[in-house]
A = this chain, B = another copy of it.
Amino acid sequence: MTTDPTRDLLPEGLEDRLPQSAAAVARIQRAVLDVMRSHGYDRVRPPLIEFEQSMASRMDGLSTRRMFRFVDPKSLRTLALRSDITVQVGRIAATGLSGAERPLRLCYAGQVARIAGDMLDPRREELQVGAELVGADSVAAAGELVEVAIEALEAAGAKGISVDFTLPDLVDTLADGPLPLDTATRVAVRRELDAKDAGGLVDAGGAAYLPLIHASGPFDEAIERLSAIDGAGALDSRIAGLRQIADRVRGRARLTLDPSERHGFAYQSWLGFTLYAEGVRGALGRGGTYRIGAGSMGNEGEVATGFSLYPEELVEAVKADEDLGRRLFLPPDHDRDAAARLRGQGWRTVAALSDQDEAARLGCSHRLERTEPVPVRS
């Protein structure tokens, strides 16, 4: 045999999922989609590839530089492999489903890719599963999405779910109102809040924003501290909304608040949330309220609320225990009706291809004898 030893290596950040982990991915995807479907979300399937320009025009604050791009020999325009399905669903809502009644509930699942991973996550391809409610960004809409996200993660087998809320436009709301800041100071205040650097915040001229650093932590205490800051009147509706959402899901997830957190919320308007689960590295997903296609084209799109899950690390956490099902060995000339009946009952049959009894070698716990499964002696 002449074999190039490198030919089977996969590129960095790309991997095969073998049966145990592939079964976990499939089960999780199905469970999440089933929950979304049961709450009225209709699935849509955008393509893997689009015009780079079309993607870019809908990606507020994000660049197509992180996408795999290539020239289309048909159109001679640049295509991009999608790195996010949310923007595609926004496009569908604005085009193919522009005439559908609002609020419009849509969901999706598919692979996304990016040209480079990062230190925290070297993956260059992953599954994204999400739900978008188009035409509403109210407290009721956000509460529904948070609840559906928690239920979806529960159905996927996640334990110890927690939700961390944020108010992505918090600084702007305060700076435009009770705690005015000029443009340059606003940028500095945001930066120091991101770094949670109290000294830096004071030096930057944002002393009035100091209480925000301490208004994070377990939800009930943090929302009290947020309500007590000077100028909190400007946040009344947001604080009331957060409390309503928290009341709705209390007891099903651990709730925290980090009101000035902006990382990962470049799109969002008044509300953002990040989803975690015990024993799962990093965030499992994020969501919030936003405006579709409020991008570089300058047009104002519809309001929407949604969330995306990235289940790869949940798969890593559960794959070792993933149940591949009971296997039933079918000897040559077995009763075919009995085999079909048992498959209908959840058995996975493994048919003999030779005269040898290979039940044990092929991992079957049972063998079909006449019409019933009989345990294989080990």
Q: How far is the CA of A15 from the CA of B101 in the complex (A)?
A: 22
9-residue interface stretch from A185-193, A230-238, A256-264, A349-357: A349-357
The answer for the CA separation of A354 and B133 in the assembled complex, in Å, is 14
Asked if B297 contacts A4 (CB within 8 A), the reply is yes
Contact of A45 among B25, B45, B88 (CB under 8 A): B25
CB of A81 closer than 8 Å to a CB of B = yes
Which residues on B sit within 8 Å (CB–CB) of A47?
A: 10, 14-16, 125
Quick one: given A101-B363, A140-B353, A297-B3, are A113 and B48 in contact (CB under 8 Å)? yes
Is A44 close to B, CB under 8 A? yes
At the interface, yes or no: A323 with Cβ under 8 Å from chain B?
Answer: no
Instruction: Pick from B38, B39, B361: contact of A101, CB below 8 A.
Output: B361
A136 x B1 contact (CB < 8 A):
no
Nearest CB in chain B to that of A106: its residue: B19
Q: What is the count of identical protomers in the complex?
A: 2
Q: Report if A251 contacts B (CB, 8 A).
A: no
B48, A353: Cβ atoms closer than 8 Å: no
| Binding stretch for chain B, among A72-80, A169-177, A274-282, A368-376 | A72-80
User: Which 7 A-B pairs have CB atoms at the shortest separation, nearest pair first?
Assistant: A19-B42, A17-B45, A40-B350, A14-B47, A38-B343, A1-B299, A22-B45
Known A-B contacts A11-B50, A18-B97; A353 and B141 likewise in contact (beta carbons under 8 Å): yes
Is there contact, CB below 8 Å, between B15 and A43? no
With an 8 A cutoff between CB atoms, is A69 at the interface?
yes
**Contact between B33 and A144 (Cβ–Cβ < 8 Å)?**
no
What's the minimum C-beta distance from A123 to chain B, rounded to whole angstroms? Answer: 10
Q: Which residues of B are found within 8 Å of A79, using beta-carbon distances?
A: 11, 68
A136 to B34, CA, bound (A): 37
Q: State whether the Cβ of A184 lies closer than 8 Å to any Cβ in chain B.
A: no
Q: Any chain B CB within 8 A of the CB of A53?
A: yes
- Cβ of A9 within 8 Å of any chain B Cβ, yes or no, is yes
Q: Does chain B have a CB within 8 A of A217? A: no
- Chain B residues, CB < 8 A from A10: 47, 50-51, 54
Given A19-B44, A69-B70, 12 other A-B residues pairs in contact with their CB atoms under 8 A = A2-B297, A2-B299, A4-B53, A8-B54, A11-B49, A11-B74, A16-B45, A18-B97, A37-B348, A38-B347, A49-B124, A110-B111
Interface residues of A in 57-105 (CB under 8 A from B): 57, 68-70, 72-75, 77, 79, 81, 88, 91-92, 94-97, 101, 103, 105
Question: Which residues of chain B are near A74, meaning CB under 8 Å?
Answer: 11-13, 116
